[in-house]
Amino acid sequence: MDEITLNRRNALLGTIALGLTSSACAQSQSAPQARPDLYNGELDYLAEEFPGRADEIPAHITITNAAERGEPLEISGRCLSWQTGEPVPGVIVYAYHTDGIGLYAGGPRRTRHARLRGWMRTGSDGVYGFRSVKPAPYPDGSMPAHVHLIVLEPARPPYWIDDIVFEGEFGVDAAYRARAGLRGGDGVVRLARVNGVWTGVRDIRLERHPA
């Protein structure tokens, strides 16, 4: 191998190595840090109160019955690894929200559950979904319409993620976005009307857990 060819090869290898190093640094810098407040002890009861065996919880549920007043709503999404972005199976997602007039009342006695609530568990494709009615904002106007989401990963404590809120609706403005913690990814969902049902997607980027 002549000197010119050798120099070109070394320069190329050096460029590749630099690129790999830069890429690794960028990935390291962009990797999310575990939130010091990820776990909330007030949610520990959820680990024990979901109905039945975990492997019997379906991926798709209907929260309301036909008698529930309100506009039909259907939300689906995937639980994705914070490291790879790949779908994660076996994740329990608990959703609850107000009714069509902004109230939680009517849940089971001696529990902290809202009346409109449900459990889902992702399958091999990482997908969850629920059908319900579109919640209303709190009557006092202190919050936009929203759906609370709690995630329970296998062998981990449960944790809150950002609520589902609806793009362009009351209270979902620049100030709201600025306050959002992006826990579990962006909770602002764009709804589209499909065959009379408000439909949206809320993918969940699972949080990094403390070591």
> For the segment 3-17, what is each residue's pLDDT rounded down to a tens digit?
433 333 343 333 333
Coil, strand or helix: which one is 176? Answer: helix
Query: What is the per-residue pLDDT for 132?
Result: 98
Residue 113 lies in a domain: yes
Domain, as residue range, for 19: 1-30
Same domain, 83 and 179: yes
Q: For residue 28, what pLDDT is reported?
A: 36
Same domain, yes or no: 1 and 76: no
CATH code assigned at 189: 2.60.130.10
Phi, psi of 183 (to 5 degrees): -75, 120
- pTM of the predicted model as reported, rounded to 2 decimal places: 0.82
Confidence of residue 20 (pLDDT cuts 50, 70, 90): very low
For 67-116, the pLDDT digits (tens) are 999 999 999 999 999 999 999 999 999 999 999 999 998 887 766 778 99
Give the DSSP letter string of 6-28: HHHHHHHHHHHHHHHHHHHHHHH
For the stretch 119-150, pLDDT in tens is 999 999 999 999 999 999 999 999 999 999 99
In a domain, 210, yes or no: no
Is the domain of 11 the same as that of 104?
A: no
**Quick one: 109 and 133 in the same domain?**
yes
